[in-house]
Chain A
């Protein structure tokens, strides 16, 4: 249901149906905000040599239906290789930030970001984790099971208001 608290009038009857709609359903919407996530369980790594932002993998495409509130988007993983690896988010085909995206990392390191996104109207959106490198091959560790090289990246989106 959409988030639309009712304005009551003096003397308006308080019925079970209205209470369920105006109180129960709206409280449930607050308790269970729209949330989607991907917890990396693939036994392979992800790699790229692309110098333009491209999708990390279809695993990192998340669809969410919001009620028109602000949205938090986050990611964490461990990347290595290439000189510099850049990460960004695409929403329905549009990069969230231009140029070099949200965060960057050099060498082998953990990387993460949380980004508050405002101004999204109530609708269904596809959030995609994007990356690029400046030179060489960048790799994002998957859940390979190899000692010191096995990590589970996570990408998530949640409506927060």
Chain B
């Protein structure tokens, strides 16, 4: 089991999903995940993280813009928009609409 240490930061205005992606994008960081809550943000790293790696993480946390969306969040917004566009009588559905619906269902079922 990975030995985890948690690096604490005072920021409470963090988009956890996005900050996770931002840290994951930096190669060679022993990164486990992020936790956020009313008392601040914690970045969880493997216990062997170096001081230099911790500085990189601190810089990423400081530079983080929580108003932006992660790719997962954007995908979820796109999915919701696609579903909303299908809220119409069946007789008005086009072949493209049915294709969109099938893709949405297939992805929800984990087929791809």
Residues on A lying within 8 angstroms of B by beta carbon are: 42-59, 98, 132-133, 136-137, 142
Closest to B70 in A: A137
A47 touches B16 (CB 8 A): yes
Q: Please tell me if the beta carbons of A137 and B17 are within 8 angstroms of each other in the complex.
A: yes
Would A47 and B32 count as touching, CB distance under 8 A?
A: no
- Bound-state Cα–Cα, A30 to B1, Å: 40
Cα separation A32 to B32 with both chains bound (whole Å): 41
Question: A98 CA to B73 CA in the complex, in Å?
Answer: 31
10 pairs from A and B in contact (CB 8 Å cutoff): A44-B37, A45-B37, A46-B37, A46-B38, A50-B34, A54-B42, A55-B6, A57-B37, A137-B17, A142-B38
Number of A-B pairs whose CB atoms are under 8 Å?
73
A82–B23 CA distance with the chains assembled, in angstroms: 18
Contact: B16 with A54, CB < 8 Å? no
B36 touches A50 (CB 8 A): no
A47 contacts which of B2, B35, B39 (Cβ < 8 Å)?
A: B35
Interface centre among B2, B12, B16, by most A CB within 10 Å?
B16
Is B100 positioned at the interface, with any CB of A under 8 Å from its CB? no
* Known A52-B44, A54-B35; 12 more pairs at CB < 8 Å: A42-B37, A43-B38, A47-B34, A47-B36, A48-B16, A49-B16, A52-B1, A59-B37, A59-B39, A136-B72, A137-B20, A142-B38
The 6 closest A-B pairs by CB, nearest first: A50-B33, A44-B38, A49-B33, A48-B35, A49-B20, A42-B38
Closest to B8 in A: A58
Contact flag A50-B35 (CB < 8 Å), given A44-B12, A137-B16, A137-B20 = yes
Nearest opposing residue in chain B for A139, CB measure: B16
Q: Which residue of B lies closest to A95 (CB)?
A: B1
Chain B interface size, under 10 / 10 to 19 / 20 to 34 / 35 or more: 10 to 19
B interface residues with partner A (beta carbon < 8 Å): 1-2, 4, 6, 12, 16-17, 20, 32-39, 42, 44, 72
Decide: B37 and A51 in contact? CB cutoff 8 A.
no
Q: Is the CB of A48 within 8 A of B38?
A: no
Say whether B17 contacts A54, CB under 8 Å.
Answer: no
Is the beta-carbon distance between A54 and B37 smaller than 8 angstroms?
no
Whole-angstrom distance from the CB of A58 to the nearest CB of chain B?
A: 6
Instruction: Select one of B2, B4, B38, B44 contacting A57, CB under 8 A.
Output: B38
